[in-house]
């Protein structure tokens, strides 16, 4: 782990050749921003960048090879001289320089909330989002307030670390036996992130040495174990304990929390509750005729058995979302035969090195080039600046397949990848989605081996005319063909739009969240609060998906929550709730804005959209608006009692 300020003994021993070799792997945009920050060299700032559409996103790049060479030469000179000076603790450069350095990294001049967001994401200050008390309450007052966090995945761990740092008493309840949430549960072959691992960290954990660009589940789980241990929150987690219901008690101004754990059922009491239960955590297995007759084994992708030997097994996979598309290529390598039942194809973009670990030089740079990790983290996040371009509907744009010129460009890139991979036009037609890119969750895949390679293997059969029924020996397809298999895997997704499912949550006047969300489905005020449910916040709740990664979203929400808690204590009140009119106003904006996004396209059918005619999962806001919405609570829209 790079500890800023530590002596870099590895660098001290590096030869000139080793330094030159490593810099050959450095990202040129990162070098431009970082060198400028560390040295103030204006000639670095003068190097131009352009924009490169790489399939699914836009990446600012240094486009001229000679400029890349200049940056590398300067970086080599910097690192050699730093080594020769004994590689001492090095200052991060003047704060006044940061706006320009970050803009140089991002490839555009950043101001206002965009600049503030990216400076925080740079994580030079790992505690930039931790709570700063205006006036810290005395110990007795703090001890009188307790928070229960539900879930110890990404959101729950973020909450735990931030509450601990603020000195607010808390406990975490986790249904699993370990931390990591999604990455504790999703252990199917091929499971890995599709957002860069470097941005899958917290700002307080930005220096975590991920060994690859898009890491597989065991590496993701390691990160969460590291957070739990390094930030010393594991001891505050009640594992193997599930919350079944939450009931607000007006008299004591507490939540009564019914749990079931290793010691049996119990009811706990807490001043506040923060749910961090995720929305892709409760498997959805469809009811299919004959399911119970099947004599083989079956399970959902999120319930993959340990130590499974697939040698000689015939496996059916139902479902072709991200999980199905990630699973089948790996399964094909292990099983005797795979039958994939695909109802809807998804867009796939090829990424070079998607499944490969980093060459050693990359992590060497992380350890030895001061602040390289920070700038590299921001580099992987800054792609989100193009999110509106990627997902906005352009009402002026007319095309049968796409929602904007840019969206069409992404579609063309996906089709070009498919054409590279699949020669048969009929198979290409089968694999071409009818919906525009980003109207459903697309899939990232390795350019060298992916679902497109897998479905052309002799030991893989692609079935596209549906599942008629399941019987003793396997699955009968839509056309009556029988597929005998030993195992059926349900890659059929999650109860994604049914937030907080299956907990029963009863707020003021006996009203339940379920009742409240009857009309239109799940919603939150500032993504986190529900009127009539005081001292209650959701992390990564309704309409949070997209625009900003889950770790950033959780940190920003936690900062918001802690400001609410401080006000509660400051004012000597016991409950904080949101006004119903403010809740509806916020959600009207969410719905209006969502109607202009790609996922409103009627051709898409998935959890991005619901039967209520609105999206409960997707956020229509770009990152800077999310930052602004969560930066300071609007106390005139909240009720303190």
DSSP 507-562: -GGG-BHHHHTTTTS---BTTTB-TT-TTEEETT-TT-BSSS-HHHHHHHHHHHHH
Question: Is 328 among the residues that bind ligand NAP (CB under 6 A)?
Answer: no
How many Å apart are CA 180 and CA 539, to the nearest integer? 15
Which of the stretches 10-18, 27-35, 579-587, 604-612 binds ligand NAP when contact is defined by CB under 6 A?
Answer: 604-612
Across 66-85, b (16+ Cβ under 10 Å) vs e yields: ebbebbbebbbebbbebbee
Question: Is 534 among the residues that bind ligand NAP (CB under 6 A)?
Answer: no
Question: Is 318 among the residues that bind ligand NAP (CB under 6 A)?
Answer: yes
Which positions ≥6 away from 634 have C-beta within 8 Å? 582
Q: Name the region of 186 (left: φ>0; alpha: ψ -120 to 50; beta: rest).
A: beta
Q: How far is the CB of 136 from ligand NAP (least distance, A)?
A: 39
Which of the stretches 169-177, 340-348, 349-357, 359-367 binds ligand NAP when contact is defined by CB under 6 A?
Answer: 340-348
Question: Is 286 among the residues that bind ligand NAP (CB under 6 A)?
Answer: yes
- CB-nearer residue toward ligand NAP: 254 or 617: 617
Which of the stretches 360-368, 372-380, 414-422, 490-498 binds ligand NAP when contact is defined by CB under 6 A?
Answer: 490-498
Question: Is 320 among the residues that bind ligand NAP (CB under 6 A)?
Answer: yes
Which positions ≥6 away from 92 have C-beta within 8 Å? 4, 37, 38, 124, 370, 371
Which of the stretches 260-268, 362-370, 455-463, 492-500 binds ligand NAP when contact is defined by CB under 6 A?
Answer: 492-500
Question: Is 343 among the residues that bind ligand NAP (CB under 6 A)?
Answer: yes
Please give the sequence-ordered ranges of beta strands (E in DSSP) within 169-313, or none if there are none: 170-173, 237-238, 242-249, 254-261, 264-270, 272-275, 297-300
Q: Which of 321, 433, 437, 521 binds ligand NAP (CB under 6 A)?
A: 321
Which of the stretches 244-252, 487-495, 568-576, 593-601 binds ligand NAP when contact is defined by CB under 6 A?
Answer: 487-495
Chain position carrying tokens 């991002």: 106
Q: How far is the CB of 279 from ligand NAP (least distance, A)?
A: 9
- CB-nearer residue toward ligand NAP: 208 or 341: 341
Q: How far is the CB of 425 from ligand NAP (least distance, A)?
A: 23
Question: Is 319 among the residues that bind ligand NAP (CB under 6 A)?
Answer: yes
Q: Which of 118, 516, 607, 623 binds ligand NAP (CB under 6 A)?
A: 607
Which of the stretches 351-359, 546-554, 559-567, 605-613 binds ligand NAP when contact is defined by CB under 6 A?
Answer: 605-613
How many residues lie near ligand NAP (CB under 6 A)? Answer: 25
Which positions ≥6 away from 600 have C-beta within 8 Å? 393, 439, 594, 609, 615
- CB-nearer residue toward ligand NAP: 325 or 371: 325
Kindly state the helix (H) or strand (E) to which residue 60 belongs, with its residue range. strand 58-61
- CB-nearer residue toward ligand NAP: 467 or 485: 467
Question: Is 491 among the residues that bind ligand NAP (CB under 6 A)?
Answer: yes
Please give the sequence-ordered ranges of beta strands (E in DSSP) within 393-466, or none if there are none: 443-446, 460-463
Name all contacts of 305-310 with Cβ < 8 Å and 24+ positions apart.
Answer: 306/187, 310/334, 310/335, 310/336, 310/487
Determine contact, residues 499/541, Cβ cutoff 8 Å. Answer: yes
Question: Is 323 among the residues that bind ligand NAP (CB under 6 A)?
Answer: yes
Q: Which of 180, 189, 350, 493 binds ligand NAP (CB under 6 A)?
A: 493
Terminal Cα-to-Cα distance of the chain (whole angstroms): 46
Question: Is 606 among the residues that bind ligand NAP (CB under 6 A)?
Answer: yes
Question: Is 324 among the residues that bind ligand NAP (CB under 6 A)?
Answer: yes
Across 622-632, b (16+ Cβ under 10 Å) vs e yields: bbbbbbbbbee
Contact positions vs ligand NAP (CB under 6 A): 193-194, 280, 286, 301, 318-324, 326, 341, 343-344, 441, 467, 491-494, 605-607
């Amino acid at each position: 782990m790079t500890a800023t300020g530590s002596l870099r003994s590895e660098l001290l021993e590096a030869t000139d050749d080793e330094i030159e070799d490593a810099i050959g792997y450095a990202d040129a945009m990162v070098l431009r921003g970082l060198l400028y920050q560390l040295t103030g060299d204006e000639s670095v700032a003068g190097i131009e960048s352009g924009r490169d559409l790489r399939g699914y996103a836009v990446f600012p790049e240094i486009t001229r090879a000679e400029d890349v060479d200049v940056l590398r030469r300067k970086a080599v000179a910097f690192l050699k001289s730093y080594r020769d000076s004994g590689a001492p603790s090095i200052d991060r450069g003047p704060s006044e320089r940061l706006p320009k350095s970050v803009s140089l990294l991002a490839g555009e001049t950043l101001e206002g909330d965009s600049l503030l967001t990216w400076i925080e994401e740079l994580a030079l200050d790992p505690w930039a989002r931790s709570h700063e008390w205006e006036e810290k309450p005395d110990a007795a007052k703090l001890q009188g307030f307790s928070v229960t966090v539900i879930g110890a995945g990404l959101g729950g761990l973020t909450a735990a670390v931030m509450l601990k740092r603020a000195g607010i008493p808390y406990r975490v309840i986790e249904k699993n036996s370990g931390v990591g949430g999604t990455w504790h549960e999703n252990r199917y072959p091929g499971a890995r992130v599709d957002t860069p691992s470097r941005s899958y960290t917290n700002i307080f954990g930005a220096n975590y040495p991920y060994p690859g660009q898009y890491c597989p589940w065991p590496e993701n789980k390691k990160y969460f174990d590291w957070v739990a241990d390094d930030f010393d929150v594991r001891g505050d987690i009640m594992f193997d304990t599930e919350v079944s219901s939450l009931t607000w008690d007006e008299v004591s101004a507490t939540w009564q929390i019914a749990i079931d754990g290793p010691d049996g059922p119990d009811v706990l009491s807490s001043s506040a509750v923060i749910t961090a239960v995720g929305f892709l955590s409760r498997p959805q297995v469809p009811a299919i005729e004959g399911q119970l007759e099947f004599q083989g084994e079956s399970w959902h992708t999120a319930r993959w058995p340990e130590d499974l030997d697939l040698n000689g097994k015939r496996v059916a996979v139902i479902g072709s979302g991200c999980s199905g598309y990630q699973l089948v290529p790996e399964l094909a390598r292990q099983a005797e035969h795979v039958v994939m039942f695909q109802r809807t194809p998804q867009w796939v973009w090829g990424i070079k090195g998607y499944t490969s670990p980093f060459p050693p030089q990359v992590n060497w740079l992380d350890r030895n080039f001061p602040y390289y990790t920070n700038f590299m983290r921001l580099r992987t996040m800054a792609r989100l600046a193009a999110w509106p371009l990627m997902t906005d509907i352009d009402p002026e744009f007319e095309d049968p397949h796409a929602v904007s010129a840019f969206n069409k460009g992404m579609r063309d890139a996906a089709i070009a990848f498919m054409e590279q991979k699949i020669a048969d036009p009929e198979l290409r037609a089968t694999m071409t989605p009818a919906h525009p890119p980003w109207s459903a969750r697309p899939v990232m895949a390795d350019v060298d081996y992916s679902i497109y390679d897998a479905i052309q293997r002799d030991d893989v059969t692609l079935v596209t005319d549906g599942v008629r029924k399941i019987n003793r020996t396997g699955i009968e397809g839509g056309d009556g063909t029988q597929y005998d298999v030993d195992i059926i895997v349900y890659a059929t997704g999650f109860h994604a739009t049914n937030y907080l499912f299956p907990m029963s949550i009863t707020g003021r006047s006996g009203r339940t969240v379920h009742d409240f969300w009857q009309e239109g489905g799940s919603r939150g005020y500032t993504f986190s609060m529900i009127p009539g449910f005081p001292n209650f916040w959701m992390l990564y709740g309704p309409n949070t998906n997209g625009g900003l990664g889950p770790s950033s979203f959780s940190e920003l929400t936690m900062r918001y929550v802690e400001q609410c808690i401080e006000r509660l204590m400051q004012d000597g009140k016991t409950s904080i709730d949101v006004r119903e009119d403010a809740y509806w106003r916020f959600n009207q904006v969410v719905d209006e804005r969502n109607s202009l996004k790609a996922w409103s396209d009627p051709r898409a059918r998935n959890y991005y959209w619901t039967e209520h005619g609105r999206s409960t999962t997707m956020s229509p806001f770009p990152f800077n608006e999310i930052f602004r919405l969560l930066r300071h609570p609007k106390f005139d829209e909240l009720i303190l009692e």
